[in-house]
Amino acid sequence: MKRIIYSLPLFLLTACGEPDTICDCIAVSDSLNIKSRELLNKVPTAADEQAIQTLRKQKKQTCVAFEKMGGAEMLERKKTCNE
């Protein structure tokens, strides 16, 4: 019983200390949005198109776990990214 009590705080610290991968998803999504907005005002170059494709692939890989997440849960988890 004492082992459980002593290990619980360690578990909680470990779980809370790991960064939430949704923060990575949000960061990649924000980068893609910024790049897309930049291209609205100019003709995209080959480098711009490559950058967009790269960001889209990164977003797809990073955000796959959150594709079916509800909006309310996503907003709640997004709050932890700013802490």
Considering the chain, what is the average pLDDT of its residues? 81
Residue 69: inside a domain, yes or no?
yes
Residue 47: inside a domain, yes or no?
yes
pLDDT of residue 12 exceeding 80, the answer is no
The parent domain of residue 59 ranges over 20-82
pLDDT of residue 8 exceeding 60, the answer is no
Residue 13: inside a domain, yes or no?
no
Average pLDDT (50-61) is 96
Cα–Cα dist 54/62, whole Å: 12
pLDDT at residue 83, as a whole number: 63
Number of domains composing the chain: 1
pLDDT of residue 57 exceeding 70, the answer is yes
Residue 14: inside a domain, yes or no?
no
pLDDT of residue 42 exceeding 80, the answer is yes
Residue 74: inside a domain, yes or no?
yes
Residue 66: inside a domain, yes or no?
yes
Residue 57: inside a domain, yes or no?
yes
Cα–Cα dist 17/70, whole Å: 24
Reading the block at residue 72, the tokens are 């309310």
